[in-house]
Amino acid sequence: MVQKSIDHAFTASDLTSAASDPTYAGALSFMRRRFTKDLTGVDTAIWGIPFDAATSNRPGARFGPQAIRRASAIFDNDPQYPWEFDLFSRMPVADYGDCRLDYGNHWETPATIEREASHLLNNVNFLLTLGGDHFITWPLLKAHVAKHGPLALIQFDAHQDTWFDDDKRIDHGSFVGRAVHEGLIDPARSIQIGIRTHAPEDCGIRILFGHELEEMTAAQVAERIIAHVGPHPAYLTFDIDCLDPAFAPGTGTPVAGGPSSAKVLSILQRLSPLDLCGADVVEVAPAYDHADITAIAGATIAMYMLGLRAKRLRAR
């Protein structure tokens, strides 16, 4: 029987212990994991990047990490569906808090994110990031590539994010093109899922458009992703606007015609054969949310990302 406690984020006895906080009380780390800057013994670190100065439409994603952490409190300590096991029993996880950024000097933001992500990756095996707008994925990719080499990109999104880039822009709509041009990702092994807009170029990346996603089963989509990426090390990024606005109204650039949260979660569940080196959930903007619909979706997607990591560790 788990000894009851409160504020597990601060009082946790170890990195794999279960929490017993009520869902409506206690310190709000992600899934009640211990808040700490001490990475000793940590396999997977979770952190937030509260940045939204690169948005092209509605701002507010700087509040995304807080909203996702708050929504994650609904997860209790029973085995999380659909994994049927305790995610943390063999996967020590800590919440590292947020990246400290200077709101008055955005030109320093990319280097700050890359530097802090590199520090984390030098001390842990897997990094899960809560955004923040989608620009943050570019410096995150730089940090991951420094450790793992060029990666395949698996991008759930309504947008291609391959718009014009002069290598100086701070723009959430051009980071993919920049990552391709810099050799951070291998376009031949990369895939975008749920795209419902057009951009001037595809950079050689495979695209599953929104209407294709609608016509395929979750199993078919997952099979397509796994076959395309293969055994290549990969980075998984999930822009919450991949979901239809009915399931994620709280985002900066919503696009109608997207998949349901149920379908996307069914796809994610099947991606355990992939060699994922890192992941992020971005563009949750709670000011436009209703009843935490978007935050709950973002928190659940992040939990599934942890589930994929935990399942892979259990298979070793």
Give the CATH number for residue 274.
Answer: 3.40.800.10
Confidence of residue 257 (pLDDT cuts 50, 70, 90): very high
DSSP 212-267: HHHHS-HHHHHHHHHHHHTTS-EEEEEEGGGS-TTT--SSSS--SS---HHHHHHH
Identify the band that residue 1 occupies on the pLDDT scale cut at 50, 70 and 90. Answer: very low
Q: Which residue has the tokens 């099979």?
A: 223
In a domain, 3, yes or no: no
Percent of the chain's residues with pLDDT above 90:
79
Q: Is residue 95 part of a domain?
A: yes
- Dist CA 65 CA 190 (whole Å): 26
Mean pLDDT confidence for 178-182: 94
Summary mean pLDDT of the chain: 94
- Both tokens of 63, joined, read 């509040």
Asked if residue 207 is part of any domain, the answer here is yes
How big is the chain, counted in residues?
Answer: 316
pLDDT at res. 147? 97
Q: Mean per-residue pLDDT for 240-244?
A: 98
213: in domain: yes
Q: In this structure, are residues 160 and 239 in contact, taking their beta carbons and an 8 Å threshold?
A: no
Rounded to a whole number, what is the largest CA-CA distance in the chain? 58
Looking at the predicted structure, is the pLDDT value of residue 172 above 90?
A: no
Q: What angle do CA 137, 230, 214 make, to 5 degrees?
A: 70
Domain span at residue 233 reads: 8-99+110-314
Q: What are phi and psi for residue 276, nearest 5 degrees? A: -80, 130
**272, part of any domain:** yes
- Confirm whether 104 is domain-assigned: no
Nearest to 284, CA basis, from 302, 258, 266 = 302
Report the distance separating Cα 94 and Cα 74, nearest Å.
Answer: 18
Express each pLDDT in 78-135 by its tens digit: 789 999 899 999 999 999 999 999 988 888 999 999 999 999 999 999 999 999 999 9
Asked if residue 92 belongs to a domain, the reply is yes
pLDDT digits (tens, 9 = 90+) for 42-59: 999 999 999 998 898 999
For residue 122, with 0-12 CB atoms within 10 Å meaning exposed, 13-18 middle and 19 or more buried, which class applies? exposed
- Residue 190 within any structural domain of the chain: yes
Domains contained in the chain, number: 1
Distance CA(58)–CA(60), nearest Å, equals 7
Report whether pLDDT(241) > 50.
Answer: yes
pLDDT of res. 3: 65
